[in-house]
Amino acid sequence: MAKPALMPYEKAIELYEPVLGFEVHVELNTKTKMFSDAPNFFGGEPNTNVTPVDLGLPGSLPVVNEQAVKYAISLGLALGCSIAPSSRFARKNYFYPDLAKNYQISQFDEPIAFTGSVEVELPDGRLFTVPIERAHMEEDAGKLTHVGGATGRIQGAEYSLVDYNRAGVPLVEIVTDIIYGAEGDAPELAKAYVSTIRDIVVALGISDAKMERGNLRCDANISLRPRTAPGEPPAKLGTRTETKNVNSLRSVERAIRYEIQRQAAILEGGGTIIQETRHWHEDTGQTSAGRPKSDADDYRYFPEPDLLPVVPSLELIEVLRAGLPEAPVARRRRLKADWGFTDLEFQDVVNSGLLTEIVETTKAGASAQSARKWWTGEIARIANQRGVDASSLVSPLHVSELIALVESGTLTDRLARQVLEGVIEGEGTPDEVVAGRGLAVVSDDGALIAAIDEALAAQPDVLAKIRDGKVQAAGAVIGAVMKAMKGQADAARVRELVLERASA
Amino acid sequence: MSTETPPSESARPATSANSRPAKADGDGAPGEITSAQVEHLAGLARIKLTPEEITKLTGELVAIVDNVAKVTEVATPDVPATSHPIPLQNVFRDDVVGVTLTQEQALSGAPEHDGSRFRVSAILGEEQ
Amino acid sequence: MSHDLTRLTASALAEKLRTREVSSLEAVDAHLDRIAAVDPDVHAFLHVAADQARATARAIDARRASGDLSADETGAARGGSASELAGVPIAIKDVLCTIDMPSTAGSKILEGWVPPYDATVVAKLRRAGLIPLGKTNMDEFAMGSSTEHSAYGPTHNPWDLDRIPGGSGGGSAAAVAAFEAPLALGSDTGGSIRQPAAVTGSVGVKPTYGGVSRYGAIALASSLDQVGPVSRTVLDAALLHDVIGGHDARDSTSLRDEWPSFAAAAREGAATRSLKGLKVGIVKELQGDGFQKGVTQRFEEAVALLTAAGAEVIEVSTPSFEYAISAYYLILPAEASSNLAKFDSVRFGLRVNPPGGGTVEDVMSATREAGFGPEVKRRIILGTYALSAGYYDAYYGSAQKVRTLIQRDFARVFADVDVLVSPSAPTTAFKLGEKLDDPLAMYLNDLTTIPANLAGVPGISLPVGLAPEDGLPVGIQFMAPAREDARLYKLGATLEALLEEKRGHPLLSEAPDLAPQEMFASEEGAV
């Protein structure tokens, strides 16, 4: 891929106003699929979690999962949307091998939820209101595997394989209105928005929300418009591109920044932006052109004749509203107070997009401070090194178990970092890694005393110095003992014991 | 038959991938069907028509559309549309797992598979 | 002996099975013999499952012998274990999915496809102890009025083998009319049960939309399709409707209504024969110009019988029916273009690789070009057009509005009358090939039957006689308000009884016997 010209970011923002829009797909964690009673589970053996409906077999018919409708209404309410008194499904017609019926059952002119907003927090603590146009229900497609060619990508593949286990998994698509005013914070706003949606669906308990698994997917629309002098009317909106395949919070931020720089360079060079789909490549940090979007895209939407309108009662809506978790901003204020974090500490958490992880880690038993320390410290460091989201590395439950092991004295911080590494490498739970790698602290004083006596005997000069009151000389003995214990000893306890034995 | 509560149409261009022109326009008045149009429709419908079929179908469609276009005579704005012959609403299923097909059953009708997945020729188009 | 059994109505055969005068195996063998004798000429069947049918018959006979089969006089076997029809053979339109027989919908694109599941109606048949003989021919994906659009060759009308048996369910109607099966299942999207019944002298019912499950019926137009019975008598249709009807959780459009016994309604109608208090509306728009003279004549004679039996007959007007065909030929292709998108060579059915290979898109396009017939392509392209950006409101949107107007017309006239009546089809059976090159002329054949599909109301066609000019059967159609199917069975059975009383025998006994005479040692008269 040739490296396209990029304009320095600051200059791009000086010349152009970025205009944004997002489509976020949330996979719901219902037990069954949107329109069939197959399990909503798509790992495992291909084409086993399917019924005739999911394979689009001739004669099969969809039936709506009531739980998915309730989840969609809850999400709509959490986004501050109005719930449609009557909404209906529509068919979106297009051919693609992962789409079993060659139409997707979605919603078009009557979505379940419309007109809302979400408050998100920018890195400097400023609140920004993202307007929501609609949230609608639809079904996911199957999974394609491209075989042959160099990279497993679609280009150059010899053939493709289709697994329909994911076909029919319930989705809610959240579509924002046009977002103006993000200015230079556009990349950070994008990340904060997706992170907030993630916090909301996790708090609602309606999605596993793992971006790396595709539970939460973001398509980012972006266009630039030239700035005009004060007093002049604003310029017309620029042509937009839609960036897909943005599968981490980190990528959302990077992709937006990249597109702003790329589009600005084209416009500045007198070129025009092509309205198209662009694919984000995590490895190269670039986007590449997909199929151009044009009027030829004709989805021929029409009301789904196999399904009936959804007309939620006011009672149902009120019951669901009463069950909503608090709004993100209020929740953040409460958590900050509950946890006793400083402004700086809390902002660090929010900006890292790890609020959900820390909440879940504390729910599993850890203290908020320990959770914060691990997630924004060691885990974030490794994630950064690997270019992935911290949340994709390790589960909050395992982090909480790790913290418990440290707090009980089973692990030192240094050992705990090794255990974390083992967990990330897939060696099992922290307990299993401790056992597997033999990493537990030696807390048996007998074993320590034996090692200390041996070290003292080997270094009689040191023993003499300690006895003379030169306590700092003990360091050499402690070092030898820790080395003999392969680091699996609590250094403070070793020091205590060395002084005890020396004076014995 | 149902309360219409469309989202705001005006504020959609930057975010919505889908919009439909409000009424017939652009491509010519209803009733005018050209062979180029038939070819385009066949492409949308994934049917590789022969040139002879395109010519024949164009003539037939012109005649058929001439006839069926009379629906526009009485379809005045005050008449609501009917999608379902018998009005029902809120037809739902409980979220309970049922019986699935076995992998063997799922693949039983496939023209080609690798033992667990359906096999298709290379895809050059992009995902949508 | 075997010929005799094929002449029995389903209810008469059921009676002989119940009394164990004949076995189910004998009944099945008789029909298989009849199929072997006449189907080479009629071509009603695409697939005959002789071995499976015999095995099922033996099992039913064994259950009956062990007292395991509870006959239910009311036919209230919906979802139950066995019905009054247990042991009776039946033919199944190839549009319905059957786990043990190919299900092709008359298309090359599904040649040899055996579904991994049964349609709900087929499962209900099996539970009720009916015995599937095989699958019947049809216009490809039920698109047609003559069965000439079957990819497997046309079915021939038993009354005149040079003529069409109607469509799309010409195979089911011809099988019943040619005594190859006492009963058959059909599907009716715009008349595909009623028009074939009319032109073959059999009985066909399109139930209220949602009255019979569509799950496993290969969809043509989802908002119009309805599965229903095909038979030689009104009572037989009612008995079969009792078996296949009722709510199905797998079909969202299925009604949850508690239905009365249609067989009881038919028996009551045949017994009382009085139509006092019944108001019948003759639909002004479904007669006159364009209707064959003999069709009108037999229709008027039948209406006179209704009047004589005490019915009050008035003429009613439904002006919007004039737009029904236009609306239908927009809604149907639109829905069909989407329903038929699944035939793409990936998960089932035909795959055609273009010369030199190609992308999956090329393979799909080549498969659909080779696998679909001309009428299917015509309607897919028309439907794609009707749904396209820029045309949707003018065409599909307008058609859905016409649907509202038609429903309003029905509601208005049903405030005044209990049932509507019209000829079932404008003409008797036309010659094979006569309208094949004129799709519009073919479409006009559905003029009388389409309004019921657009409004979801039930309709029945039963034979009223032969047109004097060509000696071919003429059908009468009754339509009732939605959910009032029982009214049609009661009235239909009354008229059927009155006609038979007048004629002295069932109309179908006048049909030519297609079988070579030497095959049967002794001929007995018609039943």
Q: Quick check: A32 and B96 CB within 8 A? A: yes
User: Which of B118, B119, B124 has the most A C-beta neighbours within 10 Å, making it the best mutation to test the interface with A?
Assistant: B118
DSSP A232-262: SPPPPPPPPEEEEEE-SHHHHHHHHHHHHHH
* pLDDT above 50 for B1: no
Measure the CA angle with vertex C512, ends C506 and C515; round to 5°.
Answer: 115
- In chain A, residues with a C-beta closer than 8 Å to the C-beta of B7 are 111, 114-115, 133-134
- In chain B, residues with a C-beta closer than 8 Å to the C-beta of C116 are 101, 105-106, 108-109
- In chain B, residues with a C-beta closer than 8 Å to the C-beta of C345 are 111
Closest-CA residue of B relative to A309 is B89
Among A48, A68, A303, whose Cβ lies nearest the Cβ of B103?
A48
Residues sharing a CB contact under 8 Å with residue A477, sequence separation 6 or more, in sequence order: A452, A455, A456, A459, A462, A463, A466, A498, A502
Among A52, A94, A311, whose Cβ lies nearest the Cβ of B128?
A94
Residue A199 to residues A354, B13, C219, Cα–Cα distance (Å): 9, 28, 42
Residues A94, A99, A101, A107, Cα dihedral to 10°: -70
Residues sharing a CB contact under 8 Å with residue A446, sequence separation 6 or more, in sequence order: none
> Residue B73 in contact with residue C323, Cβ under 8 Å?
yes
pLDDT tens column, A248-291: 999 999 999 999 999 999 999 999 999 889 999 988 999 988 76
Burial of C297 (0-12, 13-18, 19+ CB in 10 A): middle
Among A115, A160, A223, whose Cβ lies nearest the Cβ of B123?
A160
What CATH class has C2-279+426-519? alpha beta
Closest-CA residue of B relative to A301 is B20
- In chain A, residues with a C-beta closer than 8 Å to the C-beta of C389 are 295, 298, 300
- In chain C, residues with a C-beta closer than 8 Å to the C-beta of A157 are none
Tell me, yes or no, if A162 comes closer than 8 A to chain C by beta carbon: yes
pLDDT of residue A297: 63
pLDDT tens column, C117-176: 999 999 999 999 999 999 999 999 999 999 999 999 999 999 999 999 999 999 999 999
Enumerate neighbours of C (3 or more CB pairs within 8 A): A, B
- In chain B, residues with a C-beta closer than 8 Å to the C-beta of A63 are 91-93
Closest-CA residue of B relative to A136 is B7
B21/chain A closest Cα distance in angstroms: 11
> Residue B123 in contact with residue A157, Cβ under 8 Å?
yes
B26/chain A closest Cα distance in angstroms: 11
Closest-CA residue of C relative to B59 is C378
B89/chain A closest Cα distance in angstroms: 5
- In chain A, residues with a C-beta closer than 8 Å to the C-beta of C253 are 305-306, 308
| Angle in degrees, 0-180, between the axes of helices A328-339 and A186-204, rounded to the nearest 10 | 80
B115/chain A closest Cα distance in angstroms: 9
* pLDDT above 60 for B20: no
Q: Give this complex's ipTM.
A: 0.95
In chain B the domains, ranked by start, together with CATH numbers, are 24-81 (1.10.20.60)
**Residue keyed to tokens 């620029």:** A238
Q: Quick check: A97 and B93 CB within 8 A? A: no
Give the CB-side neighbour count of residue B22, counting CA atoms within 13 A: 3
| Chain pair B-C, CB pairs under 8 angstroms | 209
Residue from A278, A45, A248 nearest A163 by CA: A45
pLDDT of residue B30: 52
pLDDT of residue B14: 32
C359/chain B closest Cα distance in angstroms: 5
Backbone angles phi, psi at C458, to 5 degrees: -80, 155
Residues sharing a CB contact under 8 Å with residue A467, sequence separation 6 or more, in sequence order: A502, A503
User: Which of B37, B38, B41, B47 has the most C C-beta neighbours within 10 Å, making it the best mutation to test the interface with C?
Assistant: B47
* pLDDT above 60 for B23: no
Residue from A61, A15, A58, A21 nearest A37 by CA: A61
Among C351, C362, C380, whose Cβ lies nearest the Cβ of B112?
C351
Tell me, yes or no, if A97 comes closer than 8 A to chain C by beta carbon: yes
Domain ranges of chain A: 9-318, 351-435, 445-502
Tell me, yes or no, if C218 comes closer than 8 A to chain A by beta carbon: yes
User: Which of A25, A28, A37 has the most B C-beta neighbours within 10 Å, making it the best mutation to test the interface with B?
Assistant: A37
Measure the CA angle with vertex A74, ends A73 and A78; round to 5°.
Answer: 115
Give the CB-side neighbour count of residue C452, counting CA atoms within 13 A: 40
Q: Quick check: C218 and A60 CB within 8 A? A: no
Regions of chain A with pLDDT less than 70: 1-2, 150-153, 291-297, 443, 504
Residue from B49, A122, B70 nearest C319 by CA: B70
Backbone angles phi, psi at C341, to 5 degrees: -70, -25
Q: Quick check: B14 and A221 CB within 8 A? A: yes
Catalytic status, residue C192: yes
User: CATH topology for A445-502?
Assistant: Arc Repressor Mutant, subunit A (1.10.10)
Residue A115 to residues A134, A408, B8, C440, C478, Cα–Cα distance (Å): 6, 50, 8, 47, 49
C283/chain B closest Cα distance in angstroms: 20
B9/chain A closest Cα distance in angstroms: 10
Q: Among residues of chain A, what percentage have pLDDT more than 90?
A: 63
pLDDT of residue C91: 98
Q: Quick check: C115 and A91 CB within 8 A? A: no
B38/chain C closest Cα distance in angstroms: 7
Catalytic residue among C107, C192, C213, C337: C192
Beta bridge partners of A174: A24, A135
Among B48, B81, B105, whose Cβ lies nearest the Cβ of C401?
B81
Among A59, A97, A101, whose Cβ lies nearest the Cβ of C216?
A59
> In this structure, what DSSP letter does residue A279 have?
E
| Chain pair A-B, CB pairs under 8 angstroms | 202
Tell me, yes or no, if A95 comes closer than 8 A to chain B by beta carbon: yes
pLDDT of residue A485: 78
Among C114, C366, C440, whose Cβ lies nearest the Cβ of B48?
C366
Q: Quick check: B79 and C391 CB within 8 A? A: no
> Residue B128 in contact with residue A96, Cβ under 8 Å?
yes
Closest-CA residue of B relative to A180 is B14
Backbone CA torsion sign across A202, A206, A212, A218? negative
Burial of C524 (0-12, 13-18, 19+ CB in 10 A): exposed
Q: Quick check: B15 and A55 CB within 8 A? A: no
Catalytic residue among C107, C145, C168, C345: C168
CA distance C392 to C387: 5
pTM of the full structure: 0.88
User: Which A residues 218-257 touch B at CB under 8 Å?
Assistant: 221, 223, 237, 240, 242, 244
Q: Write out chain C's pLDDT in tens, 527 residues.
A: 445 899 999 999 999 999 999 999 999 999 999 999 999 999 999 999 999 999 999 999 999 998 877 644 334 443 344 689 999 999 999 999 999 999 999 999 999 999 999 999 999 999 999 999 999 999 999 999 999 999 999 999 999 999 999 999 999 999 999 999 999 999 999 999 999 999 999 999 999 999 999 999 999 999 999 999 999 999 999 999 999 999 999 999 999 999 999 999 999 999 999 999 999 999 999 998 889 999 999 999 999 999 999 999 999 999 999 999 999 999 999 999 999 999 999 999 999 999 888 899 999 999 999 999 999 999 999 999 999 988 999 999 999 999 999 999 999 999 999 999 999 999 999 999 999 888 888 888 899 999 999 999 999 999 999 999 999 999 999 999 999 999 999 999 999 999 999 999 999 999 998 876 544 444 444 43
The three state secondary structure string of chain B is CCCCCCCCCCCCCCCCCCCCCCCCCCCCCCCCCCHHHHHHHHHHCCCCCCHHHHHHHHHHHHHHHHHHCCHHHHCCCCCCCCCCCCCCCCCEECCCCCCCCCHHHHHCCCCCECCCCEEEECCCCCCC
pLDDT of residue A30: 98
pLDDT tens column, A165-209: 999 999 999 999 999 999 999 999 999 999 999 999 999 999 999
CA distance A254 to A133: 25
Beta bridge partners of C160: C157
Residue from C361, B36, B86 nearest A95 by CA: C361
Residues sharing a CB contact under 8 Å with residue A183, sequence separation 6 or more, in sequence order: A13, A17, A18
| Chain pair A-C, CB pairs under 8 angstroms | 103
B116/chain C closest Cα distance in angstroms: 12
Residue A167 to residues A138, A300, A417, C506, Cα–Cα distance (Å): 11, 21, 40, 53
